[in-house]
Amino acid sequence: MKLHELRDNPGASRRRKRVGRGPGSGKGKTAGRGVKGQKSRSGVALNGFEGGQMPLYQRMPKRGFRKPNRRRYVEIGLGRLQDFITAGKIDASKTIDESSMVESGLVRRLRDGVRILANGEISTKVNIVVHGASQSAVRLVEAKGGTIQVLSKNSDDGSSGEAESHQNESAV
């Protein structure tokens, strides 16, 4: 076999239809569009049109609302935080805030802050300052003798604004 003898398997590819190329092609004159009317012309989009009747997509009830400027938090589980502490990337003896999470690589980029969730277990006593935390995450951290300090919603950085503190009263 030589290079010029190579061919596709029969039926492996089809030639494209050349429409509007005369009556001998079988698709000449109207090019398979039928005769006259709006759909035979070019540049027509009739997808949702029902002849003037109210279209189905407009008759259906609309539900829900997406707040366009809602706060988007980076969510971190306690298990991942513990993994970074045991790997030595985060120092548990210091206060863990959002900037230290970014420096360690736990958080790639801050959106509107960090929110701690109760995914996984934490075995170290830690002091955390973040913009949000679930109640179960607060309970788990306090059970180990640590604290989670939740910054107020209107403060943009960790230094300013009031803070709502969740502390273990029995350890004080």
Span 121-133, pLDDT tens digits = 999 899 999 999 9
* Torsion angle of C-alpha atoms 80, 151, 144, 137, degrees rounded to 10: -60
For CA atoms 81, 82, 86, 92, the dihedral sign is: positive
The domain made up of 74-166 has a fold known as Ribosomal Protein L15; Chain: K; domain 2 (3.100.10)
Q: What is the pLDDT of residue 60?
A: 93
The angle formed by the CA atoms of residues 83, 78 and 162, to the nearest 5 degrees, is 125
pLDDT at 167 over 70: no
Backbone φ and ψ for 118, nearest 5 degrees, come out as -90, 35
Structure confidence at residue 172 (pLDDT) = 42
Residues 81, 90: contact at Cβ < 8 Å? yes
Q: Which residues of 91-105 are buried (b: 16+ CB within 10 A; e: fewer)?
A: ebeeebbbebbeebe
Contact 113, 73 (CB under 8 A): yes
Per-residue pLDDT for 111 more than 50?
Answer: yes
Q: Comparing 51 with 137, which gets the higher pLDDT? A: 137
Note the pLDDT tens digit of each residue in 12-52: 999 888 999 999 888 999 998 999 988 888 877 777 788 88
